[in-house]
């Protein structure tokens, strides 16, 4: 940065030095008491001395609200940044970060945190102690699990987790009552989910057989070839009482966890006649339905109501 910057522009509020090949930012920054937005994207920052010493004691530490250091070479979040207590937006995407320091919780005013495009493998529970956080971007990392404490981010509106290594989400995520957008595409969880949704449409023979069975069309063995009579005898009733349909070869498999003797939860496979039959049991019509199943269905309906936009693929 040019010397005398604070003398030339003492009231400078926004500084954009993106794409200038910077390897370090000098002490001139420390004397800009009005600077609230600093953009230094796509440079070569990240080595020793990239940030000026004494940053946490300078007026800048109190005035800065937006800091964008994306597209640089930081391998860790600089400790000095965690002292910028007035910071509302922090972007460190496209760096070389391997983790998130627990001291991130010190940025109490943070509303926007962008850490996408790094090598982060885990999310510290301390991240949940950011009461003002509204937008959290952790996409394109190597994250394998989400800590349940993240449900304490009651102000969160958008959570981007696409292109990670997630195989499941914690049950507590349903407590994010203000969440409008959840991006999950490109995770093993979603890849498996989308694969399981694939459904081969019924053949013409099966459609005809379903029609005969559901509409009780009368027929006698003398009316049809023996092979078709045998085929019609293989009809299975759909376990969804709200459907009343049948299926032959084309069905949808679904895992349901059912309470057994009040002690265990067993994963049972159910076969449904079509993707529309997503709930094979109903507590009103099936006395064998467990309370846990009803609870899970209630949670699903609540989640569907709360989650306006879920990006799966």
Task: Report the percentage of the chain scoring pLDDT > 70.
Answer: 77
- Do 283 and 156 form a contact (C-beta atoms < 8 A)? no
Full set of structural domains in the chain with CATH: 5-195 (3.80.10.10), 202-235 (no CATH)
The tokens describing 61, both together, are 């530490």
- Do 18 and 41 form a contact (C-beta atoms < 8 A)? yes
- Do 179 and 302 form a contact (C-beta atoms < 8 A)? no
Instruction: Taking residues 44-61, report their average pLDDT.
Output: 88
> Residue 296 and residue 137: Cα distance in Å, rounded?
28
Of 168-182, 261-275, 288-302, the range with the lowest mean pLDDT is 288-302
> Model confidence at 113, in pLDDT bands (50, 70, 90)?
very high
The tokens describing 161, both together, are 């987790």
> Please, which residues have CB within 8 angstroms of residue 139's CB and are 6 or more apart in sequence?
116, 117, 160, 161, 162, 163, 164, 183
- Do 110 and 130 form a contact (C-beta atoms < 8 A)? yes
Is the predicted pLDDT of residue 287 greater than 60, yes or no?
no
Q: What is the pLDDT of residues 225-266, one digit of tens each?
A: 888 888 999 888 887 777 888 888 888 776 666 665 555 556
Determine the length of the chain: 313
> Residue 262 and residue 289: Cα distance in Å, rounded?
12
Of 17-31, 39-53, 67-81, 153-167, the range with the lowest mean pLDDT is 17-31
Q: DSSP readout, 254-307?
A: EEEEEEETTTEEEEEEEEESSTT------TTT-TT--HHHHHHHHHHHHHHHH-
- Do 110 and 133 form a contact (C-beta atoms < 8 A)? yes
The two beta strands, 37-39 and 135-137, are unpaired
Is the predicted pLDDT of residue 2 greater than 70, yes or no?
no
- Per 3-state DSSP, the chain is made up of helix, strand and coil in percentages (nearest 5) of 25, 15, 55
Instruction: Taking residues 88-101, report their average pLDDT.
Output: 97
Phi first, then psi, for residue 254 (nearest 5°) are: -145, 135
Is the predicted pLDDT of residue 39 greater than 70, yes or no?
yes
Is the predicted pLDDT of residue 138 greater than 70, yes or no?
yes
> Residue 278 and residue 272: Cα distance in Å, rounded?
8
Q: How many CB atoms lie within 10 A of CB 15?
A: 18
Q: What is the pLDDT of residues 72-84, one digit of tens each?
A: 999 999 999 999 9
């Amino acid at each position: 940065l040019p010397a005398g910057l604070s003398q030339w522009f003492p009231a400078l509020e926004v500084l954009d030095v993106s794409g200038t090949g910077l390897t370090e930012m000098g002490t001139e920054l420390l004397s800009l008491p009005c600077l609230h937005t600093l953009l230094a994207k796509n440079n070569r920052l990240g080595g020793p001395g990239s940030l000026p010493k004494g940053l946490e004691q300078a007026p800048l530490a109190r005035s800065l609200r937006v800091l964008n250091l994306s597209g640089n070479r930081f391998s860790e979040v600089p400790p000095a940044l965690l002292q910028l207590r007035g910071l509302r937006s922090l972007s460190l995407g496209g760096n070389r970060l391997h983790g998130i320091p627990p001291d991130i919780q010190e940025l109490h005013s943070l509303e926007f945190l962008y850490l996408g495009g790094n090598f982060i493998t885990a999310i510290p529970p301390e991240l949940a102690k950011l009461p003002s956080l509204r937008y959290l971007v952790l996409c394109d990392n190597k994250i394998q699990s989400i800590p349940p404490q993240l449900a304490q981010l009651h102000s969160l509106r958008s959570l981007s987790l696409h292109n990670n290594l997630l195989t499941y989400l914690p049950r507590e995520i349903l407590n994010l009552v203000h969440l409008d957008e959840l991006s999950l595409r490109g995770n093993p969880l979603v890849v498996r989910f989308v694969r399981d949704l694939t459904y081969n449409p019924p053949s013409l023979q099966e459609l005809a057989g379903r029609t005969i069975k559901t509409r009780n069309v009368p027929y006698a063995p003398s009316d049809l070839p023996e092979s078709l009579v045998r085929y019609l005898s293989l009809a299975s009733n759909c376990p969804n009482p709200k459907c009343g349909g049948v299926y032959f070869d084309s069905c949808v498999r679904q895992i349901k966890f059912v309470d057994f003797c009040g002690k265990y939860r067993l994963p049972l496979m159910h076969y449904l006649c079509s993707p529309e039959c997503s709930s094979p049991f109903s507590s009103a019509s099936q006395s064998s339905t467990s309370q846990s199943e009803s609870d899970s269905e209630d949670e699903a309906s609540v989640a569907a109501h709360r989650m306006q936009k879920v990006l799966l693929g």
